[in-house]
Structure 1
Amino acid sequence: MTNGHHSDHPAASGAAAQHSGDTYQRFLTDFFGVIAYGELSAFERMSSDARFSPTLHDRATLGRLAVQEYAHFELITARLSAMGVDPEEAMRPFQASVDAFHDRTRPADWYESLMKSFVTDAISDDFYQAVASRLDAETNSLFQGLKAAEQSGEILLGRLREALADDPRLASRLALWGRRLVGEALTQAQRVLMERAFLGGLLDDQGPDAGSVDAKVKSLTAQLTRNHSKRMSLLGLTA
């Protein structure tokens, strides 16, 4: 989940100097914690949604994707354990907000579940990639491996295209649902960023001042929004 080019970033030298110490370790604990809980939640969500699939093929496909999410969860929690961190302790600060997000975005049927997985997983990947590109080489390598193994985006995109082709009436409903999901997901991402004040020191070599953090959050939000609009266009939907 990284572009692998953080050496080309103007802040790379400053960021590299910050890839050690207690502040950086606290950041990694939080970062891995929120990802781990997100992967565990995705596993639970896909496993549950698979039961309502319209075909056995769909059921098997979602089941495979759920297993993949759990494999990612195990990789992240193994990394936390290797850091000497209890994975449950790392995940716990994010449990309430992630659960609240899913409570606010309960899909009405299987097609909305499919769209939710497509939208939220893609935004999460974009979010993690944007942050991971500023981190140390070992962490980048871990995210590159996760990204290389990722299959859900293309699979979900293909299945949504089929559904929309079979029933064009779904388009307006799924477009509206997608807009609601992206709004909730961006609010969630902003909350995670702003609640961790030291993030500014990791994202910018100018230091963790409030203005710098706010500018970075706004820039990242704009980037996530642009990427979401492109994905909706691939479905023939308006973001």
Structure 2
Amino acid sequence: MSISASAADDSVSAGELSARYDNFVVDLLGSIAYGELSAFERLATDARHSPSLADRAVLGKMAVAEYGHYESMCARLNAIGMDPELAMAPYQRMVDAFHERTRPADWHESLMKAYVVEAITEEFYAAIAKNLDEPTQLAIAAVRTSDEQLAALTALLKKMLAEDPRLSSRLALWGRRMVGEALTQVQRIGAKHSFLVGLRPDGTQEQAAAEVAVIVSALTRNHSRRMSQLGLTA
């Protein structure tokens, strides 16, 4: 829900609380926007290495969707009077470094990275968005990977594992690395830009860290469930 003057106490004015909330929303939307732009670039590049045209089409469609999500975030930032480029700038180095650290060695690892990282980041932002105003909630909800695309990606991974069972151990290990990197990344972003601190008049870094920890626990459980669907150990 959004923050109103009634939420403020004696130590925090309504104006200060509103400004804090607005900064929080801009930070959040900026991080999502740059993440979506980076996902578009990564998927478009990975699609060129697909073993078949059908596989290339699956990743190509996902890349197009990611670019649409990026445009949606930019539209929301423009609607609240914020320059998207300025909102994204604080996240560029951090997100680029993440993708450099997690560069896939081949097509198989590219698919697993998409499967793990997209789900975790989307769930993280969705969990935070529950606390926000309705227009922002709707904007963030619109950048979720569609069920159709997720099903297509899952089918590709299952097909790949069925055709070459030797991939199982390597991709299970790669998946564990991806979830570790992704969870560290969302915690790092949250800590650096004070996510959740701006949502209440008495918000502190410690409270924000505790709430992020609860979210991360849920993300870990959901990841384990998704890996089990592939027949892999998380």
Q: TM-score when scaled to structure 1?
A: 0.88
CA contact (8 A) 1:46 1:65 kept: yes
The within-5 A match list for 1:174-185 is 174-185=171-182
Equivalent pair of 2:69/2:142 in contact (CA under 8 Å): no
Question: Contact (CA 8 Å) 2:36, 2:70: kept in 1 or not?
Answer: yes
Q: Does the CA contact (< 8 Å) of 2:111 and 2:157 recur in 1? A: yes
Residue of structure 1 in register with 2:214 after alignment: 219
The equivalent position to 2:123 in structure 1, one of 123, 126, 150, is 126
Which residue of the other structure, out of 163, 166, 190, is the alignment partner of 1:166?
163
1:181-200 to structure 2, matched below 5 A, reads: 181-197=178-194, 199-200=196-197
**Deviation readout 1:29-49 (Å, 9 max, x if unpaired):** 111101000100110001001
Q: CA deviation at 1:64?
A: 1.0
Rounded to whole Å, the distance in 1 between the matches of 2:81 and 2:126 is 24
What does 1:41-60 correspond to in 2, within 5 Å? 41-60=38-57
Moved more, 209-218 or 64-73: 209-218
Instruction: Quote the Cα distance in structure 1 between the aligned partners of 2:198 and 2:87.
Output: 21
Deviation at 1:198, TM superposition (A): 5.9
Equivalent in the alignment of 1:94? 91
C-alpha separation in 1, matches of 2:36 and 2:203? 29
Amino acid at match of 2:83: D
Partner of 1:103: 100
Secondary structure at 1:152 match in 2: helix
Q: Give, as a single letter, the amino acid of the residue that structure 1 aligns with 2:188.
A: R
Contact kept? 1:118, 1:157, Cα under 8 Å: yes
Structure 1, gaps ≥5 residues long:
1-5, 7-11
Matching residue of 2:11:
none
Shift of 1:193: 0.9
Aligned amino acid, residue 192 of structure 2: E
8 Å Cα contact 2:30/2:87 also seen in 1: yes
Q: 3-state DSSP class of the match of 1:52?
A: coil
Are residue 234 (structure 1) and residue 212 (structure 2) matched? no
Q: Which runs of 5+ in 2 are unaligned?
A: 9-13
Distance 1:198 1:231 in 2: 26
TM-score, normalization by structure 2: 0.90
Query: Structure 1 residues 154-163 or 93-102, which shifts more?
Result: 154-163
Change (3 A) 1:206 1:116: same
Residue 3 of structure 1: aligned partner: none
Letter in 1 for 2:39: A
Question: Do the aligned partners of 2:58 and 2:153 also contact (CA within 8 Å) in 1?
Answer: no
Q: Percent identity?
A: 52
Verify the 8 A CA contact 2:98 2:185 in the aligned structure 1: yes
CA contact (8 A) 1:23 1:198 kept: no
Aligned pair 1:68/2:92, yes or no? no
Shift of 1:102: 0.3
Structure 1 residue ranges, 4+ long, deviating more than 6 angstroms after superposition? 12-16
How many positions carry a matched residue from both structures?
227
Contact residue 196 and residue 208 of structure 2 kept, 8 A = yes
The one-letter code sitting in structure 1 at the alignment partner of 2:175 is G
Q: Is the deviation greater in 143-152 or in 28-37?
A: 143-152
Matched, 1:40 2:49: no
